[in-house]
Amino acid sequence: MRKYAVYLVSLLALTLLSTGCRSTMPQADPKATISARVVSISQEYANINTDVSEEALAALGIVRGTQFTAAFGRERISALLGSDYGDVPRGDWVALIERDERDSTRTYLQLAISFGNAATEIGCAVGDTLYIEQP
């Protein structure tokens, strides 16, 4: 009997070592995120210009007309990727795809508040990183 108990304990230990202590319950997939470095802030309206391209956003499923979340520190904002500032009500966050003035083939994500000051609102500066979450 003792030999049988040692065998069962050994088998159990081997099973735990090979499978770990993972839960067998399905886990929710975490939302994918991309890092968006602040490369400049527009002087007049404090719009946040990032290094994220239109293609990188599309890879997350963020295309024009999509609402998404951007996080900076404890701040979380919800923005609509639109075509212009008029796509959202006054005071709401809007994201725009802008063309690089030096290289028109390159695009970048700009975060703004319609009739507001985006960078001032969340307290970010050039060199900071925001995290863009897929919708």
Give a yes or no: residue 116 inside a domain: yes
Confidence tier at 132 by pLDDT (50, 70, 90): very high
Give a yes or no: residue 59 inside a domain: yes
Domains in the chain, number: 1
Give a yes or no: residue 11 inside a domain: no
CA dihedral 89, 93, 95, 99 (to 10 degrees): 80
| Residue 29 reports pLDDT greater than 60 | no
Question: What's the pLDDT tens digit per position in 51-101?
Answer: 999 999 999 999 999 999 999 999 999 999 999 999 999 999 999 999 988
CATH number at residue 88: 2.40.30.90
Angstrom CA distances, 30 to 33, 84, 121, 133, 135, stand at: 9, 30, 27, 10, 11
Identify which has the larger pLDDT, 42 or 101.
42
Give a yes or no: residue 16 inside a domain: no
Confidence tier at 30 by pLDDT (50, 70, 90): low
Pairing of strands 48-50, 75-81: unpaired
Give a yes or no: residue 79 inside a domain: yes
Confidence tier at 42 by pLDDT (50, 70, 90): very high
Q: Residue 123 — left, alpha, or beta (φ > 0 → left; ψ -120 to 50 → alpha)?
A: left
Give a yes or no: residue 4 inside a domain: no
| Residue 41 reports pLDDT greater than 90 | yes
Question: What's the pLDDT tens digit per position in 100-119?
Answer: 888 888 899 999 999 999 99
pLDDT confidence of residue 128:
98
pLDDT confidence of residue 71:
96
Confidence tier at 3 by pLDDT (50, 70, 90): low
Q: Which domain holds residue 44?
A: 33-133
Give a yes or no: residue 20 inside a domain: no
Give a yes or no: residue 10 inside a domain: no
pLDDT confidence of residue 38:
98
